[in-house]
């Protein structure tokens, strides 16, 4: 395959990120097909035309169905709000396209199941936007766990916090609507759950409590509207291996900008990581001499692939958008039939089941098996 025809739906925060990834994947990785940016869709023809010119797409449309029907589009990037994912992904798969869809997979479990079935029936490749699993540092932490660097894992603890909803007067928008899902659980919780999936193999049982710090928010055009989602979630869980875990999520956490903090405690040491400092991790090894025991900080380096594909020097640092370039490369690997580190719709359904089990646990005030 010399080139691959790309369609992009949505051009907000994630749309630009996907466009950067499609533009960057070939220069960074060299191998694989050259992406041809064929068709871009937005809510209006005018906005689509502007973005197509900026992002380098050949044509544009105000009707995403025209993009899905375009025979020159072979893969579709879906970066629209959550409520659109199921309809767009299923239409694209039925039209024979590979699909790279942003997280969360869908708002309802039924829709996520329909997406997984459509992927299975189409035989096409799917990938979800779980970019944090692509961090070379996270990959290396996985390798350390496999090698037994901290012995037998006995407890894991995740926190994900940001402050974009911390201001009580922050505007009501699509993430405040029930049509986007539960709130912190599917907006944030799915990211730690993607790490749980690749590092530990999934969740068995959950006990969760959701909270809504502000009952209503101002509307852009005046007036106020009742908030329909929960910005905070506290979760106890058990991994399939029986190991216990804790997950704390908060979209209204002043001062936290992109925290995904992970602590993994084992019989011989501890690993600690925070996405706000995504180019480093801490390792404590109980085997170190007592006189020097303590956490050592390890900086990301070419020794942690695929960091080396971006920068030949250690400690210079990758960024969020580069995780998306790696994700894009893995998606292309899967399309080419090569081994790939992606969470497709089948595996993504596992994450969705965990999220909906957490919401059920909140409603029923009891532990729920996933
Ligand atoms: N992977 C991550 O780390 C990450 C980070 C942020 C957001 N997201 C996910 O990405 C998705 C989009 O979030 P965002 O922050 O980019 O939102 P956004 O509001 O910035 O962008 C959404 C874009 O979709 C467009 N759009 C809406 N309806 C459309 C339609 N019918 N046809 C074509 N375009 C349409 C909007 O005009 C807008 O440009 C969400 O599902 C969100 O959960 C993922």
Q: Are residues 87 and 190 both part of a single domain? A: no
Helix axes 136-147, 190-200, angle to 10 degrees: 40
What is the average per-residue pLDDT within 26-52? 97
5 token code pair: 């025809």
The CATH number of the domain holding residue 261 is 3.30.360.10
Q: Say yes or no: 242 and 312 in one domain.
A: yes
* Residue 272 CB less than 6 A away from ligand 1: no
CATH of the domain at 12: 3.40.50.720
Same domain membership, residue 274 and residue 165: yes
Token pair, residue 307, equals 């960091």
Q: Whose CA is nearest to atom 38 of ligand 1?
A: 12
Pocket test for ligand 1, best of 15, 39, 48, 80 (most atoms within 8 A of CB): 80
Q: Round to whole Å and give the CA distance between 267 and 153.
A: 6
SS3 189: helix
- Long-range pairs of 57-61 with CB within 8 A, sequence gap ≥ 24: 57/8, 57/19
- How many domains is the chain partitioned into structurally? 2
Please state, in angstroms and rounded to a whole number, the distance separating the CA atoms of residues 369 and 124.
Answer: 31
**In this structure, are 215 and 312 located in the same domain?**
yes
Q: Is there a contact between 90 and 114 (Cβ–Cβ < 8 Å)?
A: yes
Q: Residues 6 or more apart from 17 whose CB is under 8 A from it?
A: 79, 320, 321, 324
Probe residue for ligand 1, chosen from 8, 11, 14, 171 as the CB with the greatest number of ligand atoms within 8 Å: 14
Whether the CB-CB separation of 90 and 25 falls below 8 Å is answered with no
Confidence band (pLDDT; 50, 70, 90) for 251?
A: very high
Q: Are residues 146 and 114 in the same domain?
A: no
Looking at residues 52-70, what average pLDDT do you find?
98
Q: Tell which atom from ligand 1 comes closest to the C-alpha of 173.
A: 19
119 in the same domain as 144: no
Q: Which of 105, 130, 155 is the last residue of a domain?
A: 130
Q: Which range marks the domain in which residue 16 is found? A: 3-130
Residue 233 dihedral angles phi and psi, to the nearest 5°: -145, 140
Note the pLDDT tens digit of each residue in 63-103: 999 999 999 999 999 999 999 999 999 999 999 999 999 99
pLDDT in tens, 305-346: 999 999 999 999 999 999 999 999 999 999 999 999 999 999
Does 261 lie in the same domain as 181?
yes
Mean pLDDT on 6-28: 98
Select from 7, 9, 11, 13 the residue to mutate for testing ligand 1; criterion: most ligand atoms less than 8 Å from CB.
Answer: 13
User: Quick one: 121 and 52 in the same domain?
Assistant: yes
Q: What is the pLDDT of residues 256-288, one digit of tens each?
A: 999 999 999 999 999 999 999 999 999 999 999
pTM: 0.96
Q: Does residue 262 contact residue 153 with C-beta atoms inside 8 Å?
A: no
154 contacts: CB under 8 Å, gap ≥ 6: 243, 244, 265, 266, 267
pLDDT of res. 37: 98
Asked whether residue 178 falls in the same domain as residue 232, the answer is yes
For the Cβ of 180 lying below 6 angstroms from any atom of ligand 1, the answer is no
Question: What are 106-125's pLDDT values in tens digits?
Answer: 999 999 999 999 999 999 99
Distance (Å, whole) CA 321 – CA 306: 14
Residue nearest to atom 7 of ligand 1 (CA): 14
Rounded to whole angstroms, the Cα distance separating 285 from 282 reads 10
Residues 294, 273, single domain; the answer is yes
Residues 340, 262 within the same domain: yes
Backbone angles phi, psi at 322, to 5 degrees: -70, -30
Q: Are residues 115 and 136 in the same domain?
A: no
Given 90, 115, 130, the domain boundary residue is 130
């Amino acid at each position: 395959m010399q080139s691959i025809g790309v369609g992009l739906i949505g051009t907000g925060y994630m749309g630009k990120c996907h466009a950067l990834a499609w533009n960057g994947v070939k220069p960074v990785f060299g191998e694989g097909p050259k992406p041809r940016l064929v068709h871009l869709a937005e809510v209006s023809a005018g906005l689509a035309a502007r973005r197509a010119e900026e992002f380098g797409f050949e044509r544009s449309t105000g009707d995403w169905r025209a993009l899905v029907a375009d025979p020159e589009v072979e893969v579709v990037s879906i970066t629209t709000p959550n409520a659109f994912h199921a309809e767009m992904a299923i239409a694209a798969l039925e039209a024979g396209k590979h699909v790279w869809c942003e997280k969360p997979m869908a708002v309802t479990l039924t829709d996520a199941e329909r997406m997984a079935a459509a992927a299975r029936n189409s035989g096409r490749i799917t990938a979800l936007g779980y970019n944090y699993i692509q961090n070379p540092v996270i990959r290396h932490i996985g390798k350390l766990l496999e090698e037994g660097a901290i012995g037998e894992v006995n407890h894991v603890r995740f926190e994900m916090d940001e402050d974009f909803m911390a201001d009580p007067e922050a505007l009501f928008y699509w993430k405040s609507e029930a049509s986007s899902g539960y709130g912190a659980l599917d907006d944030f919780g799915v990211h730690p759950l993607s790490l749980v999936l690749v590092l530990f193999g999934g969740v068995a049982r959950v006990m969760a409590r959701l909270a809504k710090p502000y009952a209503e928010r101002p509307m852009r055009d005046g007036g106020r509207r009742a908030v329909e989602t929960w910005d905070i979630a506290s979760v106890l869980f058990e991994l399939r291996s029986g190991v216990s875990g804790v997950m704390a999520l908060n979209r209204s956490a002043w001062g936290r900008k992109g925290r995904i903090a992970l602590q993994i405690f084992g019989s011989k040491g501890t690993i600690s990581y925070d996405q706000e400092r995504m180019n480093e991790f801490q390792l404590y090894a109980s085997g170190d001499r007592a006189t020097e025991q303590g956490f050592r900080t390890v900086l990301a380096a070419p020794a942690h692939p695929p960091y080396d594909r971006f920068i030949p020097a250690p400690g210079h640092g990758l960024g969020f958008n580069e995780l998306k370039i790696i994700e894009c490369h893995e998606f292309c690997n899967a399309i080419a039939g090569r081994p790939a580190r992606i969470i497709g719709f089948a595996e993504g359904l596992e994450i969705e089941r965990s999220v909906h089990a957490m919401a059920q646990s909140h409603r029923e005030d009891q532990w729920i098996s996933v």
